[in-house]
């Protein structure tokens, strides 16, 4: 009998890609939970049709702030594992509306942890962020470094890590945090005012508009393809020795935003020049992961380098102008 995995935020960018990966593995029954405030049904519609039955994949519309709903789903569906990816996942959005961001990211995570604890799940894996580190003068960033959150979003992720540790140590509920660096890939919305840099750059180049860089563009980032993030989630379900830990998920390679813009301009076949805008509050200057712990605990190594990942995103655009 297949074990059952609940994915929160399953209709979102990262959650839907994880759902794809687990579905293709054929090893798990999936419960996909999303309130559709940010996620889109089109991201998971293919999982709910063409041969997928309620025995394989079930969608539940609901909020992670609803304890009774979560408890009912966890118990009634016999959930073994939770992959928690529901969040307000934006630094600018958290600055614009910190109350809403913290209600979802902290209160919602606490509610989910309580429901999981009370339902006896085997493990909760939750999404953390490289924003945990803030501005460090050292590179790469190692899990043992202290937090230095520079935004409400970052503070929410720090709090989630403390909550994860408490539930692991005080209540005996296994938890693992994955500190994602700059995730990119299919289904990442370029149209939001808070869109991440890669989909925004690709979208603007596609429209013949110059990419807009905030600051001088010399800030460095560690861009990890979402399919590698999905692989890390799959691996953690198979790993017994990571309970209570928090693990960086990135590539270990840094690149400047200027360089990213140049590569995307070249790969889209345009001759545009970037435009520059004032640096945004809460942005971090340099952020590159050490992935030694992920290699050791999970046997994780990224399968996609940056150009390989970008080809999957840009090739369809070039082929279908």
Name the residues annotated as catalytic: 153
- Measured in degrees and rounded to the nearest 5, phi and psi for residue 153 equal -60, -50
Q: How far, in Å, CA of 133 to CA of 221, rounded?
A: 13
What's the DSSP call for residue 89?
A: -
For residues 19 and 47, the answer to whether their CB atoms sit within 8 Å is yes
Specify which residues 184 forms β-bridges with: 225
Pick from 87, 98, 172: nearest CA to 127:
87
DSSP symbol at 140 = S
Closest CA to 148 of 8, 284, 312: 284
User: 286: which DSSP letter?
Assistant: B
**Tokens, residue 252:** 């270990």
For residue 161, is it left (φ>0), alpha (ψ between -120 and 50) or beta? alpha
Per the CB < 8 A criterion, the answer to whether 100 and 89 are in contact is no
In eight-state DSSP terms, residue 176 is E
Task: Determine contact, residues 233/125, Cβ cutoff 8 Å.
Answer: yes
Peptide bond just before 145 cis, omega within 30 deg? no
């Amino acid at each position: 009998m297949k074990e059952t995995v609940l994915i929160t935020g399953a209709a979102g960018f990262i959650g839907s890609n994880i759902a794809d990966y687990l579905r293709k593995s054929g090893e798990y029954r999936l419960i996909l939970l999303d309130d559709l405030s940010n996620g889109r049904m089109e991201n998971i519609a293919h999982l709910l049709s063409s041969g997928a039955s309620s025995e394989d994949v079930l969608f539940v519309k609901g909020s992670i702030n609803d304890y009774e709903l979560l408890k009912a789903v966890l118990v009634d569906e016999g959930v073994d594992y939770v992959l928690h990816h529901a969040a307000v996942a934006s630094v600018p959005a958290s600055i614009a509306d910190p109350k809403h961001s913290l209600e979802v990211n902290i209160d919602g995570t606490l509610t989910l942890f309580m429901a999981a604890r009370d339902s006896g799940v085997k493990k909760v894996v939750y999404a953390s962020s490289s924003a945990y580190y803030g501005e460090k003068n050292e590179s790469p960033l190692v899990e043992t470094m202290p937090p230095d959150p520079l935004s409400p979003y970052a503070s929410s992720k720090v709090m989630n890590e403390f909550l994860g540790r408490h539930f692991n140590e005080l209540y005996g509920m296994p938890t693992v945090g994955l500190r994602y660096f700059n995730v990119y890939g299919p289904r990442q919305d370029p149209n939001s005012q808070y869109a991440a840099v890669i989909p925004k750059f690709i979208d603007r180049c596609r429209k013949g508009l110059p990419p807009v860089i905030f600051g001088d563009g010399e800030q460095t980032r560690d861009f990890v393809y979402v399919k590698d993030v999905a692989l890390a989630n799959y691996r953690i379900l198979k790993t017994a020795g990571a309970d209570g830990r928090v693990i960086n998920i990135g590539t270990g390679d840094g690149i400047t935003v200027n360089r990213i813009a140049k590569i995307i301009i070249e790969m889209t076949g345009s001759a545009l020049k970037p435009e520059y805008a004032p640096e945004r509050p809460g942005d971090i200057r340099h952020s590159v992961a050490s992935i030694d712990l992920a290699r050791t605990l999970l046997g994780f190594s990224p399968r996609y380098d940056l150009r390989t990942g970008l080809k999957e995103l840009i090739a369809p655009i070039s082929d279908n102008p």
